[in-house]
Chain A
Amino acid sequence: MQVETRSEQFDRHSIIGRLLTKLHLDIPLLLGLVLISALSYLILYSAGGQDMKILNRQAVRSGIAFILMMVLAHINPYQFKRYSVLLYSIGVFLLIAVLVMGEIGKGAQRWLDLGLFRFQPSEMIKITTPMMVAWYLSIDSLPPKWKQLGGAGLLILMPTLLIAKQPDLGTALLVASSGAAAIFFAGLSWRFISVVVVTLASLTPVLWHFMRDYQRDRVLTFLNPEADPMGRGYHIIQSKIAIGSGGIYGKGWQGSTQAQLDFLPESSTDFIFAVFAEEFGLSGCLTLLVLYVAIISRCLYIAVQAQDTYTRLLAGSLGFTFFVYVFVNIGMVIGILPVVGVPLPLISYGGTSMVTLLAGFGILMSIHTHRKFLPT
């Protein structure tokens, strides 16, 4: 029945419609991604000091990422489910490999040199963890039982701890939340949630004990940035000045004095939102937030429309993680969250996170466009 209706729909569509169907692309999602990318180039040009090389490099990266997204969108989600365990195992194995023999980059072990290119296994695990958890929870009927929760918890904890040990707090947080989101969508009981919240709160001092010095500094700085204005608090103070001085309408494109005068560190990467806020003001920020929320809403819509447990949990988790990305980055830049190294998704300068994010959107598109072909 349903198959027929959909094919009738296609008949009404033009050649473009057929083409897009063939390509397995989701138009609303694609539109959102393109709009955000356009904003990214605009603000990178300004924050990067009008350097076309930065833009070209970013264009090449997003080109590669878009191709990967299109390839993934083509693959039947059934295949993702089939290879979930394998991909996850490879990811965890590579994380261990990184810890054992990874290259030292920026004082943390994150990279694996594969000869041809360098590879960050923690990026791959951002996608394979929700895949694994979704696969695991879809074995049995929902909501998950206590035993399943324990298993899923272990599946999440393993990569999270491995990444936290690198140490890369930001990525560990994203991986943990992607897995947690999958459990939440599976119908985790509220009682359990409250238990976890209480436990986590009591575990904070323990966590503090295991933190590296620079991580503690970040937290302390977050709590009281003014205590060290020229040192550790510098990032946050300068970033708040940038955002605040932007006002409602901003200083105009390329008008950021904070970034242009080098007051704002990491203005092209983690702190790019401050430049955006300074140049485009509150109006620009709200536009950007609306765009992000629109993309996330589409993701959740895709999740609700999905036809089986695995794709549903995976889609929901990917969409929610995207929001965590946005929230953690903006939250840290505007000074309501501690500074952890999370880029502003699709806007910050950098290749690896771009590839992972678009890979996630490729999977979402695959889930949405392959619906009728799923074996039921």
Chain B
Amino acid sequence: MMKKWNSVWILVLACVALFGSIPAAAQEFPTKPIEVVVGFAPGGGTDMVARAISDVAAKYLGQPLVVNNKPGATGIIGSQYVYNAKPDGYTLLVAGGSETVSVPHFKTLPFNPITDFDPVIRLMVERVGFYVRTDSPWKTMKDFIADAKKNPEKYTYGTAGVGGIHHSSMLVTEKRTGIRLINVPQKGGAENLTALAGGHVNVAMASPNEAYALVQGGRVRCLAITALERSPTEPNAPTMRELGYDVYIDNQKGFVVRKGVPAPIRQKLHDAVKKAYDDPQFKASADKLKLELSYLNGEDFRKALKSMYDQIGESVKK
């Protein structure tokens, strides 16, 4: 009998200790290095923004941020790793692109990338553009849409892979403009741009920073982008909304944490990373890498993610 009560008391004390310690924990946070999980291999846009911000944010958090690449399954392996981690704020995921808004519509996942994570801060958007060869007959997006409408299933487009955000951007565009194209999925962005430059596809979906060298070299041009605002790298390409089509897809990159991380810790993370975001050192390296910075706080980031998730969901279902 005595023993039973003992264990109850221990439990109660443990609970008091646990809950009582949260505000203190938030104040002390962080007391150890923070893991920044990237669901893609080193070298891509997701990886680069993670490394650039981590170097600077350490200054404001007082602890190093360690980038850990967990590549696989279009970013889902990394998401799953963070989903399974302790919700204590020491494991951040760089998310907001394919793995969050696009892949869930193509695959059944053991978690929901929208509701099982809490967005902390958005750092950048990688806009998605429609690229054609410079010698192609289409001078504007309007030309292309008109031609493709007259000739359904005649023209091909390439993307970095099935189920990714570039693929979904074209699916949303097809749905909202009424055109029908043939998908030739490539393995990765580099292969996709090579296929376009070599004339093996008519249109390629790519981000302005990926295509920058080919545009500078006069081989390809951008007809339009699917973003809300024009891209600083492609200032002459109109957005689809300007052209009168209700398409708005951004490949966003920011920090999210597993649901369950206490709000004060999330706030602390947000504030420190925001300071790093405003730091000229981060701005300078982002500028050189052609990373298009675009800040949103956690709540607005959540809304933007939800909007893209819903648009894609509706277009994939058909």
Whether chains A and B associate is: no
